Structure 1
Amino acid sequence: MGDSFHDQLIEDSAFLKAERRLDTELVDKLILQLNRIYPQILTDKEATKFRNLDVPTSVRLGELLTHLQAKGEEACREFYRALHLHVEDVYYSLPTRLRLRDLLDPLTLPRVYKQKHVLNDRGPLFFVGCFSLAVGMALLYYYSEAKVSGSSRALGMAALGLKRKAQEVLIWYTEEDLMK
């Protein structure tokens, strides 16, 4: 990968020509930006040529990119500046920008150390279900020792958030406790 804007524009040209988000209006904005602010890069005559609506937008854009590459580094840099200003989402989608972002992102550099530790692949609901069962069993064990009538109410309340089978067991145990 070259570091110059010229090299980057050569690499990004195919992407830009195929990019559907660069419609006629946006290409005209880019041409006008280059023409008005940098007439040494794009003269009035050249701007008129590249804004000809009789020529398809992708062809005009391709000719503009070729023209800018021929003008040199400064012209390519100003094109990127105009693209960033007017069509930021396309600018950040460019292949050279994506690669640059990946190179500068510290989280993507140590790919060897970036591992996913999976204890199980059943998901959070499985964990919540197992945890609920363990809590229910702990409550059942804890309150089975106490022969106080309040314990049966606590077990009945504990059964509210559990699955149907566990709920039936706790309610059965509560009813059994009340009969004694």
Structure 2
Amino acid sequence: MGDSFHDQLIEDSRFLKDDRRLDTELVDKLILQLNRIYPQILTDKEATRFRDLDVPTCVRLGELLTHLQGKGEEACREFYRALHLHVEEVYYSLPTRLRLRDSADPLGYPGVYQQRYVLNDRGPAFFLSCFSIAVGMALLYYYSEAKVSGGSRALGVAALGLGRKAREVLIWYTEESLMK
């Protein structure tokens, strides 16, 4: 492990403070775990202060993290152990855990995730309707070569539902083919 637990906790602190999964009950479990098993890290008086329900949970958690960073490497390591024990899903979603996991197995978890490129979010029905219009226009164009007068009129009528530029092109094409 290249980073110390102290450095990792500094990096993960912002994520932990913002994570809504760490509610009052879970923060209390972490505090009690550290207090009961490691009273040298978190004394009874400190645990009582961090469990004060009059203070918002995010503030108490921020103060706890700052306190643990001040206590040193061992305190930070035991916090990670308690977090892993009580809130595993948060532990595995920490930025340092994700980075360590990615660097440990570069083939299993590529560092650069493939992004999904979405051209539009309208779905398959929109694609099918656009494709149908394109096929219909291609068929009209193909049959308008054989029958200049009938196909050109149909092509002109097809231009009614299109945008201004496309409509101008189709109407121009219809007028040109009628003049021939």
Q: TM-score, normalised by structure 2?
A: 0.59
Deviation at 1:106, TM superposition (A): 3.5
Code of the residue aligned with 2:94 in structure 1: it is: L
* Superposition map of 1:153-164 within 5 A: none
**What's 1:31 paired with?**
31
Deviation at 1:107, TM superposition (A): 1.0
Distance change (3 Å), C-alpha of 1:2 and 1:11: farther
RMSD of aligned Cα (Å):
2.1
Distance change (3 Å), C-alpha of 1:111 and 1:60: closer
Distance change (3 Å), C-alpha of 1:25 and 1:109: closer
Measured in 2, the distance between the counterparts of 1:48 and 1:73 equals 23
Q: Stretches of 4+ moved more than 3 A in 1?
A: 108-112
* Superposition map of 1:57-136 within 5 A: 57-107=57-107
Distance change (3 Å), C-alpha of 1:111 and 1:70: closer
Deviation at 1:111, TM superposition (A): 7.3
Whether the aligned pair in 1 keeps the contact of 2:102 and 2:110 (CA below 8 Å) is no
**What's 2:6 paired with?**
6
Whether the aligned pair in 2 keeps the contact of 1:27 and 1:57 (CA below 8 Å) is yes
**What's 1:174 paired with?**
none
Code of the residue aligned with 1:42 in structure 2: it is: L
Deviation at 1:108, TM superposition (A): 5.1
Distance change (3 Å), C-alpha of 1:36 and 1:111: closer
Distance change (3 Å), C-alpha of 1:76 and 1:21: same
Q: TM-score, normalised by structure 1?
A: 0.59
Q: What runs of 5+ residues in structure 1 fail to find an aligned partner?
A: 115-180
Whether the aligned pair in 2 keeps the contact of 1:2 and 1:8 (CA below 8 Å) is no
**What's 1:162 paired with?**
none
Deviation at 1:3, TM superposition (A): 1.1
Whether the aligned pair in 2 keeps the contact of 1:34 and 1:41 (CA below 8 Å) is yes
Measured in 2, the distance between the counterparts of 1:29 and 1:109 equals 32
Q: What runs of 5+ residues in structure 2 fail to find an aligned partner?
A: 115-180
Measured in 2, the distance between the counterparts of 1:51 and 1:109 equals 38
The number of equivalent residue pairs is 113
Query: Residue 45 of structure 2: SS of its match in structure 1?
Result: helix
Measured in 2, the distance between the counterparts of 1:65 and 1:42 equals 12
